[in-house]
Amino acid sequence: ILIGVRSRVSLRPGKEHRPAGSSGSGNTYMTQEEDWDRDLLLDPAWEKQQRKTFTAWCNSHLRKAGTQIENIEEDFRNGLKLMLLLEVISGERLPKPDKGKMRFHKIANVNKALDFICSKGVKLVSIGAEEIVDGNVKMTLGMIWTIILRFAIQDISVEETSAKEGLLLWCQRKTAPYRNVNVQNFHISWKDGLALCALIHRHRPDLIDYSKLRKDDPIGNLNTAFDVAEKYLDIPKMLDAEDIVNTPKPDEKAIMTYVSCFYHAFAGAEQAETAANRICKVLAVNQENEKLMEEYEKLASELLEWIRRTIPWLENRVAEKTMRAMQQKLEDFRDYRRVHKPPRVQEKCQLEINFNTLQTKLRLSNRPAFMPSEGKMVSDIANAWKGLEQVEKGYEEWLLTEIRRLERLDHLAEKFKQKCNMHESWTAGKEDLLSQKDYESASLMEIRALMRKHEAFESDLAAHQDRVEQIAAIAQELNELDYHDAASVNSRCQAICDQWDNLGTLTQKRRDALERVEKLWETIDQLYLEFAKRAAPFNNWMDGAMEDLQDMFIVHSIEEIQSLITAHDQFKATLPEADKERMATLGIHNEILKIAQTYGIKLSGINPYTNLTSQDITTKWDTVKHLVPLRDQMLQEEVARQQANERLRRQFAAQANIIGPWIQTKMEEISHVSVDIAGSLEDQMNSLKQYEQNIINYKSNIDKLEGDHQLSQESLIFDNKHTNYTMEHIRVGWEQLLTTIARTINEVENQILTRDAKGISQEQLNEFRASFNHFDRKRNGMMDPDDFRACLISMGYDLGEVEFARIMTLVDPNNTGVVTFQAFIDFMTRETAETDTAEQVMASFKILASDKNYITVEELRRELPPEQAEYCITRMTRYVGPDSPVDALDYISFSSALYGESDL
């Protein structure tokens, strides 16, 4: 495809003849002789036009040998002038003609001419020497048309088209800018004469003033063209203007013969256009490559900048003080994974695809490989991406750890608060009580009562020691877990510990004071004492039971909640025994009341050994019985929550256990498709596109799994024993699958690009793929050096160590130790296909420069389209040489730079 060329065409003038047996494009026209009889029978006017045209064409060549013909069917009958015509137009010598005048001599000479035509790869259909010798008009004209096709038209080719199409395309290109001209065929398009005048004016504007021509004067236009062509272009008058105008459809063969003379007359002027075409193609490739390089640099910079901005955010491990704030951080991270990162994954994949495509285009155009700016290589981006993912993984783990820690802290803080409230409630007033000196004025009985009461208090005090230790332990754990309000916790814990130490000191002082009493009071009512001794531990047991029944809990599995339920059931099993103890304790009180009633003792209503009353025991027992079913309800609610969590785990696992193997299977299938030699590359591409569409359609399953994963996290589910796949595994696998299918499609696209650009046939490509697959021992799309050497030897390469080392530097420039399929294809296409070279471009510039070693700015602007001309002017260095003009430019160094042989 020609890019930006001003109506220029690439002409490939053929040699004057082809070797015998060659298959030229002219053979495609030999079938026209089969229609010869039909043509003449359909329109006798065509025979007249062909007689005139073919006679003039033959004479244009025979006059070089000093002769001519008058009657085309008579003058070729003896074969002498026919042989002479073939020698003139081919430049070759034919066998000596027979000198006799007998019929068999004439047939022999004509056969020599026909044999020579056949030796040029031309099939003569229904044309025999006898018909020519007998003066058969149709056969004679058919033979001359065959000669014209072979020696005047066959080698005309524009943009790899056939001869007829090439000649028509050349005419269309040359006459495109002219008004009232629309060349679509070789008959009626030429009737008004404007097309012929346009051809002449395009190449020799000095010969015809096209602006003065009129479409309504076809005979005048045709005669003008005929006269000018005969006088100035040495093209004889082969047509008659009146015949062409008056014939509804002029003869196509006559017009083609005449027009081909114009092509050959102007063919020499096409060299400059051919050179300009080659240069424009090369420049267009460079411009496109530079644009791809700029796009790569821009995309790489933007992606690296995004990674640079994102990593510090993910590296920030400053924990929030509240669960709400940390959950917001987790939600921000989910938005990043769902919204912000996926487009960047696609950008990274597209960047790699663009880079591979660019390198393929550079290799195919024989250009040096693209080296991105420092720090922007694909490997640099991959490393930066790897660093991002490592930080990202650590950030998510840190978030979940912090949320667990805050959850634990909130639980401990609430537990600490409850225990402190209960303890402070118990210690309220105890210091004042211990500081009293009531024993100083008490009676003996009262002293004894105070002593017993103090012993009961000491027993109670010892029972509370465990709670104080629990409070201190919880405070210590809150400090170790870095609780945000540790200061107030520590302050409250310290106050409780200080108070507890003071209570111990006061208790000891009071005991010492009571023991100083010399006389021990007589035994007081054992029932009061027994009540006090039994009531105190039972009351403490009930306090502990109430505390346990109201204790907060946090679990993460059904097993854990079942353990709490089991413990609760064990506690409920002790209730009958506790009830017996309650009844026994209350029985003591009832016995006191009975004795007092029996013996008329007036009771003060206060047990001197304890502050506990039977009502206290009854009230607390009722509280315990009320808390038991509440605890049952809490545990069952937690069972329901854990069962729901388990359903979430199983739901997630059921999908993950399908999606994970599906992704792995697709990865394996894609790797098999990429090396499968069955079918064409287009078939392989279609197969990969179907895989890609299936993968895209599968995205809804990933999204659903993401939704289940989010539900699990919101329910604080952090483990799942039903699957080995985590959401992170699925995400990474999914991203790898998307990247792999995109890369594989790009590899096949590059193979198609390679095949089409290098002219490699599908059969050759299949052969290359079959050879590669045979030596791909591990079936992983790569060959190690030994297998690659064996593959080359199997394909006919005679390899020495030095040559093999050179080839390895081409196919494995990064010294990875393996040869990929793409590298193998690139090498084989370089070995089998032709590419444009710096020398070809220099030769093209030399034509435009009229064989000078430099080219001027004016010449560039005259010969090239504006965009390509300015591209060269801005990049070419000034040519320094004797007698060179000021605007002389060095096209030789510029051509070398295009192919990386020097700096541009």
Q: What is the pTM of this model?
A: 0.51
DSSP 94: P
Domains, the chain, ranges and CATH? 44-278 (1.10.418.10), 288-411 (1.20.58.60), 429-612 (1.20.58.60), 838-897 (1.10.238.10)
Compute φ and ψ for 618, nearest 5 degrees. Answer: -65, -45
In 759-820, which residue ranges form alpha helices assigned H by DSSP? 762-775, 785-794, 801-811
Of the listed ranges 131-135, 226-230, 591-595, 724-728, the one predicted with least confidence = 591-595
More confident residue, 856 or 9: 856
DSSP 337: I
Token representation of residue 96 = 């000596």
Looking at residue 334, its pLDDT comes to 87
| Residues 269-297 pLDDT 10s | 666 666 777 788 888 888 888 898 999 99
Q: How many Cβ atoms sit within 10 Å of the Cβ of residue 797?
A: 13
| Residues 180-201 pLDDT 10s | 999 999 999 999 999 999 999 9
Looking at residue 8, its pLDDT comes to 29
Looking at residue 608, its pLDDT comes to 75
| Residues 104-144 pLDDT 10s | 989 999 999 999 989 888 887 778 889 999 989 889 998 99
Residue pair 174/166 in contact by the 8 Å Cβ criterion? no
Beta strands at 782-783 and 855-856: parallel, antiparallel or unpaired = unpaired
- At residue 40, does pLDDT exceed 50? no
- At residue 830, does pLDDT exceed 70? yes
Average pLDDT over residues 719-728: 88
Of the listed ranges 68-77, 153-162, 337-346, the one predicted with least confidence = 153-162
More confident residue, 22 or 723: 723
Looking at residue 5, its pLDDT comes to 27
**Range among 76-90, 264-278, 439-453, 596-610 rated most confident:** 76-90
Query: What is the overall mean pLDDT for the chain?
Result: 83
At 481, is the pLDDT very low, low, confident or very high (cuts 50, 70, 90)?
confident
- At residue 523, does pLDDT exceed 80? no
> Which candidate, 56, 15, 48, 54, places its Cα nearest to that of 234?
56
Query: How big is the chain, counted in residues?
Result: 904
Q: Which residue type, as a one-letter code, is found at position 535?
A: A
At 7, is the pLDDT very low, low, confident or very high (cuts 50, 70, 90)?
very low
- At residue 370, does pLDDT exceed 50? yes
- At residue 684, does pLDDT exceed 70? yes
CA diameter of the chain? 181
- At residue 302, does pLDDT exceed 70? yes
Looking at residue 490, its pLDDT comes to 93
Provide the edge-to-edge strand list for the sheet that holds 888-890: 855-856, 888-890, 877-878
Average pLDDT over residues 620-637: 91
Average pLDDT over residues 701-720: 86
Looking at residue 678, its pLDDT comes to 63
CA angle in degrees (0–180, nearest 5) for 291-297-298: 90
CA atoms within 13 A on the CB side of 547: 20
At 904, is the pLDDT very low, low, confident or very high (cuts 50, 70, 90)?
low
Following DSSP, what letter does each residue of 497-532 receive, concatenated?
A: HHHHHHHHHHHHHHHHHHHT-SSPPPP--HHHHHHH
Average pLDDT over residues 430-453: 76
Average pLDDT over residues 564-591: 90
Looking at residue 13, its pLDDT comes to 32
DSSP, collapsed to helix, strand or coil, labels residue 600 as coil
Calpha distance 771→588 (Å, rounded): 104
Average pLDDT over residues 536-559: 87
- At residue 690, does pLDDT exceed 50? yes
Average pLDDT over residues 419-423: 90
Token representation of residue 178 = 């002219």
Calpha distance 288→361 (Å, rounded): 10
Looking at residue 22, its pLDDT comes to 35
**Stretch (H or E) spanning 855:** strand 855-856
**Range among 28-32, 749-753, 757-761 rated most confident:** 749-753
How far is C-alpha 244 from the geometric centre of its chain's CA atoms? 62
Average pLDDT over residues 761-780: 79
DSSP, collapsed to helix, strand or coil, labels residue 739 as helix
Looking at residue 439, its pLDDT comes to 66
Of the listed ranges 93-107, 506-520, 806-820, the one predicted with least confidence = 506-520
Calpha distance 182→175 (Å, rounded): 8
Looking at residue 763, its pLDDT comes to 76
Strand segments, DSSP code E, in 276-317 are none
Looking at residue 502, its pLDDT comes to 92
| Residues 200-246 pLDDT 10s | 998 888 999 999 999 999 999 999 999 999 999 889 988 899 989 99
More confident residue, 17 or 713: 713
Spell out the long-range contacts of 621-627 with Cβ–Cβ below 8 A and sequence spacing 24 or more. Answer: 621/542, 621/579, 621/582, 623/542, 623/546, 624/542, 624/545, 624/546, 624/549, 627/545, 627/546, 627/549, 627/550
Phi-psi region of 239 (alpha: psi -120 to 50; beta: other; left: phi over 0): beta
More confident residue, 704 or 760: 704
Following DSSP, what letter does each residue of 812-847 receive, concatenated?
A: -TT--S-EEHHHHHHHHHHHHS----HHHHHHHHHH
| Residues 771-825 pLDDT 10s | 888 888 887 778 999 888 888 888 777 678 888 888 888 889 888 899 888 888 8
**Range among 215-224, 337-346, 586-595, 817-826 rated most confident:** 215-224
Per cent of the chain over pLDDT 90 is: 25
186-215 burial string, b = 16+ CB within 10 Å, else e?
A: bbebbbbbbbbbbbbbbebeebbebeebee
> Which candidate, 239, 37, 60, 31, places its Cα nearest to that of 136?
37
